[in-house]
Amino acid sequence: MTCVAERTCLLRRLEEAAPFLDYDCDLHYWKTFNNYGHRTYLNISSGCAVIRMAEIKDSGQYIWRLIDKDVENHITTPRYRIIDKVSITSLDSSLNNSRLTTSLRVQFTGEMDTVTWTRDGGDLPEGHQLSEFNDTLTVRSTDCGTYRVTVTNSVSEDHAQLTLTAEPAPVSGRFRFSRIAVSIMAAAICAVLLGVFIKRKKLNPDISAWNSLNPV
């Protein structure tokens, strides 16, 4: 925007009807409107308007309306796209139903361009799987280590990490049954020996417990 005598300059976003900046070249005075008031700055010498703390809703084209004494001109800017920075909100892990694999899932806000993973600063283990948008990584539950995820876009990036440790191996149903069977057998043997001891005790009250269990 160029300022000359008797010129008024108005700036608005193409998608909005009302201007948010009004500058009087003769008075060297400018004012702002709407929610742009505390965010807009005009450099009078260069004619450059700056919108601070830009938000996604500020994306679009802008029009300078230059009103002279007898003529009016318009200058349209290129289309601007405001990108919200990425910020990771959580990174957690969960065992899958088989307990043979573990899934790590990252959640974030903002516009994501890439999501990348590493383990202990290097490559991911063999056999790993990634979801369509790379926000979920599935590995074997035995693939322990520190997993780091990086989420990026063209204006920002964020990182988070999680250490995966080995889970105790679950006891199989067959092994549990074997332990129960051994316990039952041991209890039965003890009951039989106790019965023999009691029977012999009745027949010979003076016999010792040792002799009753170990006859000569």
pLDDT digits (tens, 9 = 90+) for 135-183: 999 999 999 999 999 999 999 999 999 999 976 555 444 444 445 555 6
Structure tokens belonging to residue 196 = 């023999």
Structure tokens belonging to residue 137 = 């990584």
Closest CA to 84 of 61, 106, 108: 108
CA 60 to chain CA centroid, Å, is 29
CA 181 to chain CA centroid, Å, is 48
Rounded average pLDDT over 31-45: 86
**Mean pLDDT across the chain:** 83
Cα–Cα distance between 19 and 49 in angstroms, integer? Answer: 13
C-beta separation of 82 from 119 below 8 A? no
Question: pLDDT band at 202, cuts 50/70/90?
Answer: low
Cα–Cα distance between 197 and 205 in angstroms, integer? Answer: 11
Amino acid at 36: Y
Question: pLDDT band at 61, cuts 50/70/90?
Answer: very high
- For residue 92, the model assigns a pLDDT of 96
- For residue 185, the model assigns a pLDDT of 64
Burial 194-205 (b: 16+ CB within 10 A, else e): eeeeeebeeeee
- For residue 38, the model assigns a pLDDT of 86
With a cut of 60, say whether residue 105 has pLDDT above it: yes
Beta bridge partners, 41, equal: 50
Structure tokens belonging to residue 110 = 């903002």
